[in-house]
Homo-oligomer: A and B are copies of this chain.
């Protein structure tokens, strides 16, 4: 699945009507956020000193099998919220802060509507 471009340039929700195509892409991102395990993964990665976390550290934080965590990581990668890099046997994940900031900006409501 191709990485999302939708976050590159999106005016706030209220500024102009969301066309169906853009709504569909945006929905993919929010859908990725719409799972408790993925939110916790994001929180773990985001809060980790150095900004990157080994998959094994994430897996250890949950009562889920490794394939399941791997699946969630892929979902978060696919929508551009995480990147990963292999170094030796280990794979490290890190946030894409721009994606979160853009989402944040998108939800921000101007004072006057």
Contacts and interface: CB of A to CB of B under 8 A. Distances in A.
Interface of A: 13-18, 20, 23-24, 26-28, 30-40, 42-44, 46-47, 49, 51, 95, 97, 100-101, 103-109, 113
| A-B CB proximity, top 6 nearest | A31-B34, A14-B46, A30-B33, A23-B36, A104-B107, A18-B43
Given A14-B43, A30-B39, 14 more contacts: A13-B42, A13-B46, A14-B46, A14-B47, A24-B36, A27-B35, A30-B30, A31-B31, A33-B34, A95-B113, A97-B109, A100-B108, A104-B105, A107-B107
Interface of A is mostly: helix
A101 B97 contact: no
A39 B15 CA distance: 13
24 contacts: A13-B43, A13-B47, A13-B100, A14-B46, A15-B47, A16-B47, A17-B40, A17-B44, A20-B36, A23-B36, A23-B39, A23-B40, A23-B43, A28-B34, A30-B31, A30-B33, A30-B34, A31-B35, A34-B34, A100-B108, A103-B107, A104-B104, A104-B105, A104-B109
